[in-house]
Structure 1
Amino acid sequence: MPQTQVLARKWRPRNFTELTGQEHVVRALTNALEQNRLHHAYLLTGTRGVGKTTIARILAKSLNCEKGVTATPCGVCPTCLQIDSGSFIDLIELDAASNTQVDNMRELLENALYAPTSGRYKIYIIDEVHMLSKSAFNAMLKTLEEPPMHVKFVLATTDQQKIPITILSRCLQFNLKQIPQTQISDHLKGILAQEEIPYDLISLQLVARAAQGSMRDALSLLDQAIAFGAGKIEEASVRDMLGIIDQGYLFNLLDTLVQRDGLKLISLADEMEMQCLSFDSALQDLAAILHRVALAQAVPQAISEDIPEHIRINALAKILTPDDIQLFYQIALHGRGDLSLAPDEYAGFTMTLMRMLTFMPENLAVNQPPHAPPTNIKQPAKAEHKPYSVSKHTTQREIADASDLTWPQLVQQLKLTGMAKMLAQHSETKILSADKIELCVPEAHKHLLEKKYQDKIQSALNTFFNKPVVLNFFVGSITGLTPVAIQQRVEEEKQAQAIAAIEKDPIVQELIEQFDAKLIVPSIKPIQDKGDKQ
């Protein structure tokens, strides 16, 4: 049975026209070859698998092709065929990672003094050149300063910063870019068509995304996907192979967030845990979706209709405000960073979802009664008033004239969203009147004090009171009576009451006594009435 060649080697480009991406490098080298303006040393930089060694070998063929120095080597002459097979005697490839010592470099440079055996130029390709020792670089320097006419160096590296400036200054440098996903996907389509392997577009997009700009990685993953799918490439098998989370889960999470359905959010998280899905990957992909939603709002043409999720992305872009998207994006990033600090990944993931839910815009801000602070919490001197309630018939003007309004109650009425809402909820009043409001922000949240967020609160207050209000912010110590803190205490008190009610329930007590049952405290949730639901 004949041995099958891996795709990365079988489909390695053999000339510049077959190369995918790196058009800027191809254009420069093509012009140099056509005008015979050749440099003695080239430095190719870029991440793995973007074409550094491939370009070096094509350049070697261009310089040594038997039809002459050309940007389009024939590919059929003995020299071109030998370079393709790796047997051309005047092409010397060195892996600097395993040949770091100065002795290796001296031996190589001594051989460089001799004329080529059969080619026009003697080509030295040194891969991962940044791994050479300092002594080896010093040995190379003299040859780069006064190179023989018949020698060309092509240096390749993934870490340009580690190469001495004396070497860099003597090389013509080309920075290879990561290949865009669309170009990788299109290239894979062409290969699979010629290989006569069935595929679907979503699978190729998943492979291209996982390759992270590396064509070699994409071809290796494609090989793996073919084996994994028993000769065909399907979305389900590719997702299993890559361990990619079904994007449907994440869109369902965002849709549920829009509906402010906390119970369903937890249910979806439980389902993801049952599927043994990675919560770290989930938050990473959630941030990626929010990024695309932000693009759909700001630059709609950036979201191609070829993207499988474009309908759901555009739907979210019409519902969420730009501020909310930016806030949720930041929460997702911070939540991912905090996963290692959480009691477990499930707790970290669900806490991130609850944080998003907390700052979700409230559709019924004016007509819904605000949460009054618990009676056992002492209010600051400026806000020591009886609990304030708003009936369905209370007008905004009556609220503005009320003398017993507190900052947490006022925040409920302002219809703030996103980061402006977060700033308001983490602030505590020092002065509160219909003419002047001074808010203190704790040191931990001073990063929220951006002018655009202060301006949004200012505008909301002016609208609410129907006149200009003096608003000042400052950073300092607080007593802990911010809207967020009070809301948390209210929820804790409700939770404690719910637990106490269950523990005192006669039926529950009988079950515990007769069947030695145990009460699962974390499963107890207080019942919310319609006035509390927001």
Structure 2
Amino acid sequence: MSYQVLARKWRPARFQEMVGQEHVLKALVNALDDDRLHHAYLFTGTRGVGKTSIARLFAKSLNCETGVSSTPCGECSACKEIAEGRFVDLIEVDAASRTKVEDTRELMENVQYAPTHGRYKVYLIDEVHMLSTHSFNALLKTLEEPPPHVKFLLATTDPQKLPITILSRCLQFNLKNLIPERIVSHLTHVLGEENISFEEPALWLLARSADGSMRDAMSLTDQAIAFGAGTINEADVRAMLGTIDQRLVYQMLSCLAAGDAKGLMASVTDLAQFSPDYNAVLGDLISVLHRIALVQTIPDAVDNSMGDMLQVQKLAKALTAEDIQLYYQVALMGRKDLPFVPDPREGLEMVLLRMLAFRPAGARPRAVELQNSSALGRDKVEPSQDTSSDIKTNEPAVNVAEAVSIDRPNPLPEDESPIEAVTEQPVAPQALNPENDLRQDEPPVYYDEAEYAAPQSGVDPRKKFEGEGTEQESTPPWNMDESEQSFVNDQTMQPLGNEHAYAPSESKADVKSIEIAKSSVAVKECSRDLGAIQLSDWVHIGRNLGLSGMTESLATHISLEEIRSDAVVLHYTKDQKTMLNEVQQQRISDALNTYFSASVSVEFVQAIQTQETPAQYLNRKREERHSEAITSIRNDETVKQLQQHFDAQIELSSVQPID
């Protein structure tokens, strides 16, 4: 008898012999046992995962002489004929070679006839996505309403090419790729039954090369048996597959850990003697780095399936987590660029040299250090001092770029003190808490000017965020009128991220106060005596009337043009005429009466606005703040140093007022 390849000899004869695909088998077994059979099934998945095998087992279960069940006997004539591929009522069609509409019509013409020998006539159409559009159209009606004695089993590796009309008429099952562990387990069983000696690492090489396909794994196993003269060992499989000795990969990583450039290049020379696929070498390097990272994070997550646990654990101790992440990324990018280099070996060498050149210094990212220490008010910077041991690696660094986007409340009156985006006040070293692991010789960190300057000392600048800071009362240094001063005094001032930084405590301010504090321009209280106010005061009064919604919007877009003893004249534009109806006018009038605690006659006139409206005032102040913020950033010494040393560019479009 001629030799039968392993893939055909060990094709599953029952559902219980299938490896993997439990999610598909469970549905089919229950449907067969409960007699809930659909007329069309679609099996999708990559090559060699069991699509045709499941379809044939399903056909065997339907036509077994003992009855329809998930456990066909395997002994009756129908089971044997299906297993041997000669059952007359199982019509297997290779759609790749029968793509014409005439072929499909010929098949459909025979659908109406009853099965010759079995219980069901089963059409197994493989690679169904290869059918033409006209063939699909010819199949549609029959596929939707076939005779009760017909079942359609479709298989494809590319379901995206199937028309939605076909997909909607089928029960679809997506078969998954098999993991290497399942393939190795099955190969171990098969080789044990075949009495073939093997080495387990060789099976792992075969399983990984199969890339999720059991049929490919069985074919590679057949090839390995022939290559090894009846046995399977690791060296023969590596030679057959063209893979390299993993010890060379570990040798390269050991040289990287030691910073040994000479030994690293010697490892590449040893590697070149095998004429390897350098793309595969980088792939092996990436896989080992992944295993090392897992060991460093979750020691129990990596098994000894590759026989390299000791080497991986040793490298995990020799390399830091930062090293591993950097090497992984460099190798990944180098593998992508490998097709563009003149010589693949040169590409590998440059990747390894890049890993050496950009090895992390071991310290966490820190705030920007400026080489010109005069801008920081110090005589010199001490780069030789190693501060890495005193710095917590999980502490976030604060840099200048982040400072511009910090959101802080702004209690300052717009017309008295503009916001600067970057301040030049460094954190005083003596104000830091020794418990926070920051060295006294670290360069200062710059914060947002929204954290307004006010004298305070002895407070850890990070206690605000940790909820440990003590509340202290202080009089803000800026000039305010009595109403603004009373507003700020009602708030508890706390340090933000700077010993000179203050902001209101939201826990002790009501919602209305918080909204006022966070407004783009602080509301300024004006006199409530009608005879004492000026035309220019309307920009503050209009926003302090207690209005809301559309009425508030209208009030901020009209101007105060004339003040009499008991009346005021408000101008509005032609565009506002429709919205400023009698209801809105009455609401504004009532609000003014309430504000002045007197009966005030309000005249609304459609005319040119000569005075500034509250909305125009806000826009003007916002533009002034934006302009001053840009000027402050351009004049900041830190930014100048970044531009000088790193050729940095200021993204002016990203500068926004902090409202």
Q: What is the TM-score of this pair, normalised by structure 1?
A: 0.72
The aligned amino acid for 2:138 is: A
Is residue 241 of structure 2 the alignment partner of residue 265 of structure 1?
no
Q: 1:102-160 CA deviation, whole Å, 9 max, x = no partner? A: 11111111111111001011111111111111111111111122111111111111111
Q: 1:40-65 CA deviation, whole Å, 9 max, x = no partner? A: 11111111000000000000000000
User: Residue 13 of structure 2 contacts residue 57 of structure 2 at CA under 8 Å; is this kept in 1?
Assistant: yes
What is the aligned partner in structure 1 of residue 336 from structure 2?
337
| 1:257–1:432 CA distance, 2 compared to 1 (3 A) | farther
SS at match of 1:465: coil
Q: 1:317-364 CA deviation, whole Å, 9 max, x = no partner? A: 33333333222111111101111222311221111111111232447x
SS at match of 1:107: helix
The aligned amino acid for 1:37 is: R
What is the aligned partner in structure 2 of residue 92 from structure 1?
91
Is residue 217 of structure 2 the alignment partner of residue 226 of structure 1?
no
Shift of 1:192: 0.8
The aligned amino acid for 1:350 is: E
* Structure 2: distance between partners of 1:478 and 1:37: 73
Q: What is the TM-score of this pair, normalised by structure 2?
A: 0.59
Shift of 1:71: 0.2
| 1:434–1:318 CA distance, 2 compared to 1 (3 A) | farther
What is the aligned partner in structure 1 of residue 61 from structure 2?
62
What is the aligned partner in structure 2 of residue 470 from structure 1?
446
Shift of 1:477: 9.5
What is the aligned partner in structure 1 of residue 179 from structure 2?
180
Identify which range, 266-275 or 203-212, moves more after superposition: 266-275
* Structure 1: distance between partners of 2:342 and 2:392: 30
Shift of 1:36: 0.5
Larger RCO (CA within 8 A; separation ≥ 6)? 1
Shift of 1:300: 2.8
User: Residue 20 of structure 1 contacts residue 187 of structure 1 at CA under 8 Å; is this kept in 2?
Assistant: yes
The aligned amino acid for 1:92 is: I
What is the aligned partner in structure 2 of residue 4 from structure 1?
3
* Structure 2: distance between partners of 1:330 and 1:223: 37
What percent of counterpart residues are identical?
Answer: 51
What aligned pairs does 1:148-227 form with structure 2 within 5 A after superposition? 148-227=147-226
What is the aligned partner in structure 1 of residue 43 from structure 2?
44
User: Residue 322 of structure 2 contacts residue 360 of structure 2 at CA under 8 Å; is this kept in 1?
Assistant: no
What is the aligned partner in structure 2 of residue 111 from structure 1?
110
* Structure 2: distance between partners of 1:304 and 1:295: 10
User: Residue 414 of structure 1 contacts residue 464 of structure 1 at CA under 8 Å; is this kept in 2?
Assistant: no
The aligned amino acid for 1:36 is: D
The aligned amino acid for 2:446 is: V
* Structure 2: distance between partners of 1:99 and 1:412: 73
| 1:480–1:60 CA distance, 2 compared to 1 (3 A) | farther
Shift of 1:478: 6.0
Q: 1:450-486 CA deviation, whole Å, 9 max, x = no partner? A: xxxxxxxxxx995463586227999x9966759xxxx
* Structure 1: distance between partners of 2:643 and 2:273: 42
Aligned mate of 1:403, from 379, 385, 390: 379
User: Residue 63 of structure 1 contacts residue 70 of structure 1 at CA under 8 Å; is this kept in 2?
Assistant: yes
Shift of 1:10: 0.6
SS at match of 1:66: coil
| 1:134–1:344 CA distance, 2 compared to 1 (3 A) | same
Structure 1: 5+ residue stretches without partners: 366-381, 387-399, 425-430, 437-459, 483-534
Identify which range, 60-69 or 264-273, moves more after superposition: 264-273
Is residue 295 of structure 2 the alignment partner of residue 304 of structure 1?
no
The aligned amino acid for 1:293 is: I
Aligned mate of 2:426, from 413, 435, 442: 435
SS at match of 2:125: strand
What is the aligned partner in structure 2 of residue 25 from structure 1?
24
User: Residue 324 of structure 1 contacts residue 417 of structure 1 at CA under 8 Å; is this kept in 2?
Assistant: no
* Structure 1: distance between partners of 2:392 and 2:278: 26
* Structure 1: distance between partners of 2:338 and 2:642: 29
User: Residue 323 of structure 1 contacts residue 417 of structure 1 at CA under 8 Å; is this kept in 2?
Assistant: no
Q: How many residues get paired? A: 420
User: Residue 326 of structure 2 contacts residue 359 of structure 2 at CA under 8 Å; is this kept in 1?
Assistant: no
In angstroms, what is the RMSD of aligned CA positions? 3.4
* Structure 1: distance between partners of 2:320 and 2:64: 60
| 1:255–1:228 CA distance, 2 compared to 1 (3 A) | same
* Structure 2: distance between partners of 1:277 and 1:84: 43
What is the aligned partner in structure 1 of residue 552 from structure 2?
none
The aligned amino acid for 1:231 is: G
Shift of 1:295: 2.2
What aligned pairs does 1:220-299 form with structure 2 within 5 A after superposition? 220-299=219-298
* Structure 2: distance between partners of 1:323 and 1:163: 46
Identify which range, 305-314 or 218-227, moves more after superposition: 305-314
Identify which range, 31-40 or 464-473, moves more after superposition: 464-473
SS at match of 2:122: strand
SS at match of 1:318: helix
What aligned pairs does 1:343-422 form with structure 2 within 5 A after superposition? 343-362=342-361, 383=371, 403-405=379-381, 409=383
* Structure 2: distance between partners of 1:461 and 1:357: 30
SS at match of 1:470: coil
Q: 1:10-34 CA deviation, whole Å, 9 max, x = no partner? A: 1111110111111111111111111
What is the aligned partner in structure 2 of residue 375 from structure 1?
none
